[in-house]
Amino acid sequence: MEKLSHTPQITLAADDPRLAKFCQFTGLGPGEAGELLKLTTTITVPSGKRIVRAGDEGHCLYVLLEGRARVTIDQADHTVELAQLESGDFFGEVALVDDGPRSADVTALEPCTLLGITRMTIGVLAGLQPEAAIQILGAIGRALVKRLRIGNQKYLDILLRAGLSE
């Protein structure tokens, strides 16, 4: 997990309502969620603080359990907003498969509670609760495919508007 000085750790119970959207998204039951919580770190970030910085090494995926955050990149002399995230969304998933740098900044728009899931967490969970690990990875994969399809459509729309399609 990133070494963030502004991230007090908190403890959640498997039935904490802040986990509901994530459990619904992944299909995890209370027992599986409880096992996952034993292996992860839950942090809080105050409004206005940067959660991750573009270019920094990524160590985990973050699930936004509570709050809202903004995803941005800096381009030349301005900042481009890529997305706004809310409770139940996740970011940093590339860190589960690649140790490369973060591709964007993510900043808390309001106080946020985040669950950090590392590659090691998924590996250990796979040994303890294989179905839970498969459910999490499958849900992340489906969300990534959806994002890729949206990105592809935007790219095609740009090409069509520019008259570059053939």
pLDDT in tens, 129-142: 999 999 999 988 88
- At residue 110, the 3 state secondary structure works out as coil
Residue 72 · residue 47 · CB < 8 Å: no
Model pLDDT, residue 29? 85
How large is the average pLDDT for residues 79-103?
90
* Spans of all domains in the chain: 9-162
Using the CB atoms, write b or e for 101-117: b if 16+ within 10 Å: ebebbbbbeeebbbbbb
Structure tokens given for 42: 């839950």
Q: Is the pLDDT assigned to residue 1 strictly greater than 70? A: no
Alpha carbons 39 and 60: distance in angstroms, whole number: 13
Q: Which residues pair with 112 in a beta bridge?
A: 45
How large is the average pLDDT for residues 47-64?
94
Q: What is the pTM of this model?
A: 0.84
What is the CATH number assigned to the segment(s) 9-162?
2.60.120.10
DSSP state of 13: -
Average pLDDT, the chain: 88
Alpha carbons 138 and 86: distance in angstroms, whole number: 21
- Whose tokens are 């140790």? That residue is 99
Write the CA distances from 122 to 29, 43, 58, 65, 158, integer angstroms: 16, 18, 15, 18, 37
